[in-house]
Amino acid sequence: MSVVLRRLADAFALLGGGILLAIVAVTTTNAFAFILDRIAGLFGTDVAGLPGYEDFVQLAISCAALMFFPYCQANRGHVSVELLTNRMPQALQRAIDLLWLGVTIAVALFLAYWMIFGMREVRSDQVVTSVLGWPSWPFYIPGLLSMILWALIAADQVFGDAANA
């Protein structure tokens, strides 16, 4: 596999992990504020949660979730049924692997294609989050790039493995 694609997959996964850590930190803070609000309620006062918490989590998870796909593909971490294929001839195993890599490429490019249309529509409609007022369209970009990187890694596995076979 190409070193550049491997490094990009690693970087996407690390960035996705960083985003998940931010989600956990914000969720923990908001949960702590909820507990403090219940305690403060006993004394006739209140503690507000984080404004726009749901907006942030929704946008952040939409980025982070897709950023792990390229890393998973680079490490062949996808689901496969090896109970049957391990007993098949090597040539048939390779053919099945190539078939599913082709399906993976098609699915990743299909999703990227439609994400472009979704992003363009959200941008033209000037969709913003309900509390924070952040525009939603830029949060499509990490997912779109993840889908393209996923397809590139699967294609590299098809053609890179064919060169090594």
Q: How far apart are CA 149 and CA 140, in angstroms?
A: 14
Model pLDDT for residues 90-129, shown as the tens digit of each residue: 899 889 889 999 999 999 999 999 999 999 999 999 999 9
pLDDT < 50: residue spans in the chain? 165
Report the pLDDT value the prediction gives residue 103, as an integer from 0 to 100.
95
Q: Which domain holds residue 157?
A: 3-164
Q: How far apart are CA 17 and CA 28, in angstroms?
A: 16
Give, as one character, the DSSP assignment of residue 45: -
Report the pLDDT value the prediction gives residue 87, as an integer from 0 to 100.
81
- pTM value? 0.85
Q: How far apart are CA 66 and CA 107, in angstroms?
A: 13
Number of domains in the chain: 1
Four-CA torsion 92, 160, 12, 139, nearest 10 degrees: -80
Report the pLDDT value the prediction gives residue 81, as an integer from 0 to 100.
64
Report the pLDDT value the prediction gives residue 88, as an integer from 0 to 100.
83
